[in-house]
Structure 1
């Protein structure tokens, strides 16, 4: 029995604030849908055979107590001076960017810009990112970011293979001076695709090696700056595609690889103001030749026009990106790092070309002074460098490195050598501290004296010094005061709809509250400033937090082990399928390479299976949207000896709890296969049912969906995988910072051991705040909200799929095909018209063409759900006016939507409906109106006239 004092000290306030409808509103909604209680609704909706008992998690905890607990954990990490390098460097996030982007829900709660009319700000920032990558690499085309440098290298390898015409080799040649984590990820990606990776001295072997592509590091992993041109020239003569992994800061001083003849340049934009975060999230970049544009992976932001002929931005070729390449894929990229790309390009805009070059010169000069001082102390080191000095230390290597770590100075250990990489945070005082480690009691060199004697750009050969201009566009040259920078970022923010404006009812995307208290820890230095390859005794806090998060996710899912390495849902799928493949191979079942996938699956499912070296057979769905069990059974039996896995999403992609999920698992297991349950819809399961208990062997979890990491306008994401015990030995590992208890030779999925570890505190905090009871209630209310929306809209739009008692899971699909046939109004017209009401559209034409899939999440209040439903009902009325002939099909509020402010104030208004109906279809909009900044965008024009660089400044002013 709860006492009075217990109730006063109850800490479930966060649960109440996370869940939108209060108790009274929940009761109203339950009455509307015909259920007595939340438990009753769940009994009506979820198959009894999979309902679970209580989760082994603590009770909810208050925000202040939770933050204090996490602070104690974080303080076990030691923030050291990091000179490890290897693609990760300490940096300074300008406070104006920290406060107004990373800590601003206007930026971090937006969704992927599939509806570009209400994402023009983010699209402009990403277009700027592309321009930055093109300028710095010396190439003609860039995408809007990838996951990290290592996976970008793997994508580049696949790109080389796609564009190979006459070259039929299957060998990809990697220079031995590439970062070890990059080599490991590329090897993992190559093997299932039937490609062979050879690691060698490329300059010495390229003339005699039969290969389709090569990967070089610039500068090398050992800091060496070498002329790429001789190697690139040979490659060109032999029809070999070339990839260069480049340090982005070095490109401000070094001749860009594109100017030297490289076909593709990749790298990380991390050191442009994005914290190390123990490995991520960071935006990778990829630039290439114009001729490769139709094969480039990831997202490309393009310049198009709207219906009034005005310049407008959109994701070019977004259908390719949204649906991936299915079973013929060599890439399953579905997540970019939009938020981090935005931060990186704002850093470039804030500093401008001169400021960036000054930072690069400072790093280079520190390295030059340090190297000169080492020579005075009797050491030898590399003569050519940008910011990294590798010192011959012989038998003294461990002693010096250990002494350094005792002073919280981290150096990179190499056989008989130590590597020291300088960064933006390095200072002149650091030189003295470093020299003292090597001095053996000798007098330390004099910084000022060496500086006076040192020439410009030490370590960089004259013929490799950059001479070409870069970042000349006015965007990079006019926002250098904080006032102007602040206003520019705010101007872009105001062009986007994010969760701080209204609900985003995207089915299968779970746009829920990303609470401020969950976000606070990611900027703590104890989490933000940790190098992913720091010594283990310096990262005890991270390891404890990750271990606890693994235990939390085990409790939520019923699995036995988790790997936090996959840094996107797509990477999680891939890692899970590789674990299945390795498991079969360990038992001698090398022939098991076939994956069964329902026809309703997201495109990443067959794409991931193809990348894992599996062939795909599609399983039919029945008229209710369920997996056709008879078809599944027939195909599983037919391919019994080859069956590796089935991939199913549960609840189904159609938003229904399939009654036969246990039978599906049993059929596949009986035929020797494994069951992969896609975790995209886990928000309908936590606390109610557990895939690890109802028959699944592996799942990835989208932490950026169910567990509150924000979408960031298209990334960051995290996709850790949970497995049953028999698959645990096949989880990913890492060559630089291995995971205990996992085989050292296992696959490497991401550049860092724990993927984008810097955002894992968000999910840890969410689970701790909610506790077992709060998480279960969140799931129940998510299902309640979806059924409430379905019930309200069913009178006006057909609900396509329902389960028992006409219930949906956490999302519902409304079928617009009959309406389109009767009126000519399409699902796209309705999606665009919703913008005039201040809403982002639900998921359009997925998984069924001609539909909208709505997922309201548990965080939306009854007021907001009703506001959305009333907008949809009002739109149905507008469609009726078209059906009745009151508005012509070619000129009505829907086909002309969205209506920008420019449209409604124009002196020319030729439409048969009023400006008021266009802009203010419901009265509440007069008090709070979001204006789309452009009219409907011409998709076809943008794809036919692919232009992915910043337009002249005059077009912005127009």
Structure 2
């Protein structure tokens, strides 16, 4: 860990060399803490050559790094901070914090974290950590393959803030570029799988398979059937995730060989792997037909690239197809993030989990895209949800979709054919070396019989050449080739198995002898990717322009602030993002031996320690790869804890009425029964009602799910009493960490009563939202819950000889990869390292200051719905728009769409209270940007007031007609009783820079009535 020398001045401590060589990593325990020295005389937000008292510069100030990141991350400078405090009536920032955050929960001492590093120093240190990872060529397979990310896609999507800082496309009018990219992705999945409808991606292959299982369970007509068949030829990590998901729902998992399953047990569904985990391509037609005859649905987990050559699942009877699109240009990243796909039949469109992009039309009849079937969103269905997924892997799905656009149908087929041909050549050469290989057809994975005596020698020889092979079972190895494999690689593999460099044959000799085609049934004969978008952007200049055109249709953080309450759209700094694409982090297989991933293990340990110190928890699991997954993992840990104590009846989960909608959905997915708890008129939990329900269910109380600060944006003063009530009645407290940005450095969930908390790293800890994903949702737990955290034992999935005999109290696998989306954890590591103890605390204070300043400015026009006892809000506030609806007939959507004309993304609309907006500015926005947003809202208020006063037509006005596109404004047929200038340039700054939406207000209802979810529907809509 970082040990600050107590004899050095604090500013010198930041340049002390860190030695991590003796760091020992436990699976989930926090086994070390960092020592720091406070810096009381320095103002980290000020000019580094002055102290707070404006005294002359000291040695400490002179030696301070010139690229201090804290000043870059926090928007307001000292002068702006003083100005905002004066408006609020406070002399100092600490006075505001003392009035806002209840004293009983305040930290008594600073966080025990390293002092802030400069951007340069942090990058240098992380580079040193990364260098401890060893990049082997991994032929492990298991659903992961190295690939080539086209540079034009890497530079213009993955490394482009115009793509990675955008929010979920709930305001579709300013997300048309992203939505088009996702429509391309959906079309690609539909075409390749041969099914009728696909969603806009899920988290990974394992969890997508689990979603298919629960969807099949919900669709089963025979409610007495609780068994699900899983082929033993599926990837082992997928089987583990399936087991975890099935247990709390009472689903029985039958693992067996599909070829010999007699259907003597009634099943509601089945999961098959295509090709199988050992590479074999099986003919599943007979099994699927029998399953259908028995009333079961069949899911096929298919390698997406193989479907360019193989008969697609939809053509041989699959009801659902799932898989990963990682090998379509997305780096391995030690497990993620990767976009999983999910495709099914049109008949199941209302049961499909996650999001679907659909085609609709705007107010002028122009085709427009939006999220379809939004009532299916799980946070709306709450405890009636069939899934807790409310996110996607948008950024990664966009990359995968654009990989398909760039290569086109012939390019994709050529890549698949080349890999398959190399695999055939490899297998034939191994046979000539007297090894046994697959008898059945295979795509990219060769199964090699080595024999018990030789297997260790082969693996050792491979390791010497920095190559990873997979031990499938005793005496049998598999070799999975990929897009990066070369002829030289094949020769080197032969040399390993031959135990010599001189081979008795050449590649050319074998290539001229072997047959590359699949048997007739397995060979694909249907077309795919026929839409023009997949056939016109194959040069870099064409794709570059297409990507730029789409980017300009979206509003992201590189355009303006995105003031979304609860979603914390803060700065995603370039220095945080840069390491994501370093090969030392990007090219590691998730099941590579731990000896090759020391850098990652070091990073995990440090991040776990830091997050543990920030939250007060004793153990951290980094595995959950979304906030919803964190919720699920946390509740599963609680359930497992109760069961370990013989208290299996504790299945009641108390959830406040104001909770995030994913909370009840997660509880249901964990097999719990949801009981709602009332909130009082101030938005706080009704403690009397909580006490009453805790007493009523004292024998069965499992957990309380609570968000802090509250969903209404207030620090509830009764939080300690609330936690005590639950504990007295035998329950555990689960805290939703969505609002952690108001706590860091000021208070810690574990200190005031939480037993579990998930952390949205894509909110508080700066992983970007990526247009709706990726996300990360690690959980922290108290010491008594550590044994139940998700398993991270790599050997369990990769070593068939692993000893499973010892009972493991862990809840099992939550995601397919042991550390979830490992490659983006570097972002949060960089953020914490560069902010340090004081920087993180200062960021929290400024987030609270910015929110209170905006609440004060807007409060004269819009009622602020909830405040604390000192008349302060936390890091966000709810403005009430319902009075405007009564006075002027103005709806929340009218204001949201009018904000687009001002160049702003709307705040969170109609949640947690219908008819309101929840505003969260974050600490990253400076005073000018805060004032611009306030001026926009005030101008909109006056426009609504003019409607109320009869000065403007109640229907034909700037609010009802918003947003105004350029095409609308320049149209000769302008028949509106307000000027074009008022429509398009409602504020002075819009004349300096104008964000133009490309579509007008979208008709959501029309899109749901006429559901079209692929590119093929766009032309039909244009014709209509």
TM-score range, shorter chain: over 0.9
Partner of 1:8: 62
Among 250, 274, 278, which residue is 1:222 paired with? 278
Q: Is 1:449 matched with 2:506?
A: no
Determine the structure 1 residue equivalent to 2:201: 145
1:492 alignment partner in structure 2: 550
| 1:286-435 matched pairs, under 5 angstroms | 286-321=342-377, 323-383=379-439, 384-395=441-452, 396-415=454-473, 416-435=475-494
SS of 1:722's equivalent?
strand
Residue equivalent to 1:508:
566
Task: Kindly indicate whether the alpha-carbon contact (under 8 Å) linking 1:474 and 1:953 is maintained by their aligned counterparts in 2.
Answer: no
1:556 aligns with 2:614: yes
Q: CA deviation at 1:821?
A: 1.1
- Structure 2 counterpart of 1:592: 650
Find the aligned partners of 2:258 and 2:385 in 1 and give their Cα distance: 28
- Structure 1 residues 771 and 21: alpha-carbon distance in aligned structure 2, compared to 1, 3 A threshold: same
Cα deviation, residue 193, structure 1? 1.1
Shift of 1:745: 5.3
Q: CA shift at 1:202, angstroms? A: 1.9
C-alpha separation in 2, matches of 1:618 and 1:633: 12
CA distance in 2, matches of 1:952, 1:872: 37
Which residue is equivalent to 2:105?
Answer: 50
Match for 1:109 among 165, 184, 190?
165
Where does residue 204 of structure 1 map in the other structure?
Answer: 260
Equivalent position of 2:742 in the other structure: 684
Deviation per CA, 1:221-261: give whole Å up to 9, x if none. Answer: 01001112111111222221010000011000000010111
Q: Is the 8 A contact 2:375 2:381 kept in 1?
A: no
Inter-partner Cα distance in structure 1 for 2:841 and 2:294:
60
Match of 2:28 in 1: none
Match of 1:172 in 2: 228
1:437: Cα distance to partner? Answer: 1.4
2:863 corresponds to: 798
Q: CA deviation at 1:206?
A: 4.9
Match of 1:29 among 84, 89, 97: 84
3-state SS of paired residue (1:733): coil
Mapped contact 1:510–1:683 kept (Cα < 8 A): yes
1:77 equivalenced with 2:133 (yes/no): yes
The reply on whether 1:18 has 2:90 as its aligned counterpart is: no
Task: Please state if 1:99 is matched with 2:120.
Answer: no
TM-score normalised by L of structure 1:
0.98
Q: Distance in 2 between matches of 1:953 and 1:524?
A: 38
| Residue number among 181, 187, 191 corresponding to 2:243 in the alignment | 187
Structure 1 window deviating more from structure 2 (375-384 vs 571-580): it is: 375-384
Is the Cα–Cα contact under 8 Å of residues 326 and 339 in structure 2 kept in the other structure?
yes
Aligned length: 956
Distance in 2, matches of 1:440 and 1:836, equals 69
Rounded to whole Å, the distance in 1 between the matches of 2:401 and 2:761 is 25
* Residue among 705, 710, 732 paired with 1:674: 732
Task: Give 2:215's match in structure 1, choosing from 140, 148, 159.
Answer: 159
The answer as to 2:104 corresponding to 1:38 is: no
> For 1:704 and 1:690, how far apart are their aligned partners in 2?
19
Distance 1:764 1:568 in 2: 17
Q: Displacement of 1:743 after TM fit?
A: 3.4
TM superposition shift of 1:559: 0.4
- In structure 2, the residue corresponding to 1:91 is in which secondary structure? coil
Aligned CA-pair RMSD:
1.5
Equivalents in 2 of 1:662, 1:890: separation in Å? 50
Alignment of 1:251 with 2:307, yes or no, is: yes
Query: Residue 440 of structure 1: CA displacement?
Result: 3.8
Aligned pairs for 1:761-776 within 5 A: 761-776=826-841
Q: 1:782 aligned to 2:847? A: yes
2: CA distance, partners of 1:829 / 1:702: 30
Q: Secondary structure at the match of 1:390?
A: strand
Kept after mapping to 1: 8 A contact 2:334/2:586 = yes
**What is the rounded CA distance, in whole Å, between the counterparts of 1:490 and 1:689 in structure 2?**
43
1:112-127 equivalences under 5 Å are 112-127=168-183
Deviation at 1:953?
A: 6.7
CA contact (8 A) 2:892 2:916 kept: yes
**What is the Cα deviation at residue 322 of structure 1?**
5.9
For structure 2, which runs of at least 5 residues remain unmatched after alignment? 1-40, 43-56
Question: Is the aligned partner of 1:607 residue 2:662?
Answer: no
Change (3 A) 1:693 1:742: farther
Deviation at 1:330, TM superposition (A): 2.5
CA contact (8 A) 2:844 2:923 kept: yes
Q: Distance in 2 between matches of 1:206 and 1:223?
A: 24
Query: Which residue number in structure 2 is paired with residue 746 of structure 1?
Result: 811
Output the CA distance in 2 between the equivalents of 1:755 and 1:118: 30
Residue among 838, 848, 851 paired with 2:916: 851
- 1:432·1:444 contact (CA, 8 Å) conserved in 2? no
Q: Distance in 2 between matches of 1:738 and 1:23?
A: 53
Q: What is the 5 A alignment of 1:624-773?
A: 624-734=682-792, 736-737=794-795, 743=808, 746-773=811-838
Cα deviations by residue, 1:256-306 (Å, 9 ceiling, x for unpaired) = 010111000000000000000000000000110000001110000000011
Q: How far did 1:320 drift?
A: 2.5
What is the alpha-carbon distance in structure 2 between the residues aligned to residue 402 and residue 667 of structure 1?
58
Match of 2:578 among 517, 520, 523: 520
Distance 2:354 2:721 in 1: 37
The answer to whether the 8 Å contact 2:636/2:811 transfers is: no
Distance in 2 between the 1:624 and 1:167 partners? 43
C-alpha distance in 1, partners of 2:735/2:796?
27
Question: Paired residue for 1:267?
Answer: 323
Q: Does 1:815 align with 2:880?
A: yes
Give how far 1:13 is off.
Answer: 1.9
Deviation, 1:951, is 3.4
Shift of 1:324: 4.6
SS across alignment from 2:358: strand
SS at match of 1:454: coil
1:444 Cα offset (Å):
4.5
Rounded to whole Å, the distance in 1 between the matches of 2:91 and 2:767 is 33
Q: Which moved more, 1:97-106 or 1:160-169?
A: 160-169
Query: Is residue 840 of structure 1 aligned with residue 905 of structure 2?
Result: yes
Q: Deviations over 1:86-135 (max 9, x none)?
A: 01110010000000000000000000000000000000000010000000
Take 2:213 and 2:665, find their aligned partners in 1: how far apart are those partners?
A: 16
> Shift of residue 403 of structure 1?
2.2
Q: Is the alpha carbon distance of 1:791 and 1:710 closer, same or farther for their aligned partners in structure 2, counting shifts above 3 Å?
A: same
Secondary structure, aligned partner of 2:350: helix
SS in structure 2 at match of 1:261 = coil
The change in CA–CA distance for 1:855 and 1:378 in structure 2 (over 3 A counts) is: same
Instruction: Provide the secondary structure at the position in 2 that maps to 1:805.
Output: coil
The two structures have a TM-score, normalised by structure 2, of: 0.92
Asked if structure 2 preserves the Cα contact closer than 8 Å seen for 1:734 and 1:744, the reply is no
Quote how far apart the aligned CAs of 1:737 are: 4.3
Residue of structure 2 in register with 1:900 after alignment: 965
Deviation at 1:804?
Answer: 2.1
Structure 2 CA distance for partners of 1:953 and 1:569, relative to 1, 3 Å? closer
